Structure 1
Amino acid sequence: MYGNTKPFLSITSAHLLSGLFAFIYVGSIYAFKNARLRFSKRKVNLPEGQARLKLQNERWRDDPDVIKARLLAVTSATLICCLIVFVVMKNLNRDDEFVGHQVASMGNHNLTTDAWLHLGFTWSNALPLLITPLLFSGPLYVQFLEKTLPFQKGWNFEDDVLFRFFSIVGLRNYFVAPITEEIVFRACVLTVYHLTDASRTKMIFLSPLVFGTAHIHHAFETYHRYGRTATAAKRALISTTIQFTYTSIFGFYCCYLFLRSGSLLPPIAAHMFCNIMGIPQPNYEISLMPHRKLSISAAYLFGIIGFVFMLKPWSYTDGSLYWQRN
């Protein structure tokens, strides 16, 4: 904390700004005509858990033209959110008391100059980048057994690199979405809460709720793809609740990485890596290789224990703006 110094922003202002960032980011995909989805209004009764087939005049989120429009939309939204942060900091920098405090606490730099530092546009050391792969020791070991890790027998450069990562879907899932979401929901949101003198605990456990809430709009797509029935509405509610939960939990982790390291690189790398690996399925993997049950279980346990013990020491980067506040 900054002692008895008055916070640079009120908590209400931070709430409004973080909500604005989420609105701009999510709203951008509805503001662009080509980025909007289009569904038939016809109700379709389907077996439990089954999605209907796409109709000719519909536009779904994995259509190439929809993806291209959305990539442009969220990239533009991200730039706007960063610009808002710069404008807010520039206006705060006009306050003599604020400037005096900043000079005393951060050296001969003003907030406009240090906006890049607040947003985490700086390098990180290697250790924070290794925490997420450590957690995924189990799934990585299974891939090793299946010989699908890079340069193993079951790995193919064309399929596993070119097609997966550089297709339009790959660009969305593994590059544009992780980068833009971390800039907006980590860098921009945490910057404005930092200016309210919010505690690290609040920033880690409350700010990711904005990230989780920003995914609620997916319920609209789920409802339509599963037939627009009461069952479809129930599925949309359950899937959205689950998605809100795990995106919020993931947000806790990424906030911690951002604050500890002072850099956007660790949360972006974690986001990319998790999108690549997907949700671990130890029971399913063991069912495929029951003779490897002990070693797979040991690899999962190793990853969890390693993550717990190495998260704190590996995540810290000397000179982190956010972890030197006290």
Structure 2
Amino acid sequence: MHAFLSPPISVSTAHAFAAFFSFSYVGSLYLSKSARLKFDKNAKPKSESEERERRNDERWRNDPDVIKARLLAASVSTTLSVCAVFWLVKSLIPEADIAADPSAPLQTGLARLGLTFTIAQDNPFAIILPCLVAPVLYFGPLYAEFLSEELPFQRNFSFATHIKPTFFSWVGLRNHAIGPITEEIVFRACVLSVYHLSGASTMKMIFLSPLAFGVAHLHHAWDTYNRYGRTRSALRVAGVQTLFQLAYTSLFGFHCAYLFLRTGSLLPPTLSHMFCNVMGLPQYGTHVAKFPSRKLAVQAAYLAGVAGYVYAMRAWTGADASVYWGVVGPDGAGRY
């Protein structure tokens, strides 16, 4: 992999690339007619606090045809972003270095996108353990699932209920597979690769770059506003949901950005994204109320998950082969 002695691009250039990645990803969802949503402006809900019924001539976000069109659009946009990173990397490597090693642009691009398996070959645990950090955080919800006997191989677990709708439906494919994969490639690998090339600090990459990931979800407000009937109440619901989603996605982005930078691999943040989407937000109050006789145990499991997460985020992550975390040359200077 080719490394640079000083940042080869400016921060403004990194901003431009990050804006292209973000806007092209979201914008692609509205390019084709089949991917755009369609709402009846005159449809009103039965109750201001409930989502209204869908009419036959409308196109909603969870309609299979809309999902298919948007998955295709997101996949094409993701491919263009990846190509842009490869083009940038190739343009920055001196011709003499490419002549000496023609594979340098490809190997460098793959490494910066976290798509190499060098870490796993050197030390399998260096790539396996970071993938387990998110499940540790969910120890409380997983314990509640255990009490409900709904974990795999337990009595109340079934393929039709727990697996088929999660992974073998268009909504499930979007939420738990294609969506997380394309979002991590674009908002983690592509965005962080250009900011690293600009010399951005690790703290800025962890805590500022995920804001693009959060902002990219703001367009869901229009969907919510229309589904709730385009009323003042609908506007309020859309606003509250959007602000909550912005906060949640930004916090989750901190987690994934840290994993990506520490490991130099796209696998841990992508699997974490899939896992968290499957699990959803922890339902502490619901679980405590559901198992009153095990209240202390449920509380302890939730606390153990938080404590374990804090420990694992440092102890279970990090790899010597990461191109992003503390890379220095023989002269002791940093590398980009």
TM-score, length basis structure 2: 0.90
**Which of 248, 251, 264 is 2:250 aligned to?**
248
Question: Matches of 2:325 and 2:84 in 1, distance apart?
Answer: 24
The offset of 1:46, in angstroms, is 5.0
Q: Any idea what the Cα deviations from partners look like across 1:265-309, whole Å, max 9, x if unmatched? A: 000010000001100011111111111101000111111111111
> Where do residues 33-112 of structure 1 align in structure 2 (5 Å cutoff)?
33-42=33-42, 44=44, 47-94=47-94, 110-112=104-106
Shift of residue 112, structure 1, vs aligned partner: 4.2
**Separation in 1 of the partners of 2:151 and 2:12?**
48
Q: Which whole-Å CA distance do the structure 2 matches of 1:211 and 1:139 have between them?
A: 25
Output one character per residue of 1:114-146: Cα deviation in whole Å (capped at 9) or x when no partner. Answer: 100000002352110111101100000000000
- The equivalent of 2:29 in structure 1 is 29
Q: What is the match of residue 267 of structure 1?
A: 269
Match of 1:115 among 88, 91, 109: 109
Aligned to 1:213: 215
Q: Give how far 1:313 is off.
A: 1.3
User: Does the 8 A contact of 1:93 with 1:112 survive in 2?
Assistant: no
1:38 touches 1:58 (CA, 8 Å); kept in 2?
Answer: yes
Higher helix share: 1
> After the TM superposition, which of the residue ranges 87-96 and 15-24 deviates more from structure 2?
87-96
| Count of residues paired in the alignment | 316
Partner of 1:139: 141
Aligned to 1:222: 224
Unaligned regions of 5+ residues in structure 1, if any? Answer: none
Task: Give the RMSD, CA atoms, in angstroms.
Answer: 2.0
Q: Which amino acid aligns with 1:278?
A: G
Give the residue type in structure 2 aligned to 1:187: A
Distance 1:214 1:247 in 2: 9
The Cα shift of 1:94 comes to 3.7
Residue 324 in 1 paired to residue 289 in 2? Answer: no
How far has the Cα of 1:10 moved from its partner? 0.7
Match of 2:123 in 1: none
1:310, CA displacement in angstroms?
1.7
- C-alpha separation in 2, matches of 1:45 and 1:15: 42
Residue aligned with 2:230, SS: coil
CA distance in 2, matches of 1:108, 1:199: 30
Whether 2:292 is the aligned partner of 1:290: answer yes
Query: What runs of 5+ residues in structure 2 fail to find an aligned partner?
Result: 121-126, 328-333
Q: Is the 8 A contact 1:147 1:154 kept in 2?
A: yes
Letter in 1 for 2:265: S
CA drift of 1:234 comes to 1.8
- SS of the counterpart of 1:126? helix
CA deviation string 1:168-226 (max 9, x = no partner): 11111110000000000000000000100111000000100110110010011011111
Which residue type is aligned with residue 137 of structure 1?
F
Where 2:60 maps in the other structure, the secondary structure is: coil
CA distance in structure 1 between the aligned counterparts of 2:159 and 2:217, rounded to whole angstroms? 33
Task: Give the percent of matched residue pairs that are identical in Structure 1 and Structure 2.
Answer: 49
Deviates more, 1:226-235 or 1:50-59: 226-235
1:236-293, Cα deviation, whole Å (9 max, x unpaired): 1221111111101100010000000100000001000000110001111111111110
Query: In structure 1, how many angstroms separate the alpha carbons of the residues matched to 2:265 and 2:208?
Result: 20
The answer to whether the 8 Å contact 1:46/1:227 transfers is no
Separation in structure 2 between the aligned mates of residue 322 and residue 90 of structure 1, nearest angstrom: 18
Q: Which amino acid aligns with 1:113?
A: Q
Query: Is contact 1:46–1:226 with CA below 8 Å preserved after alignment?
Result: no
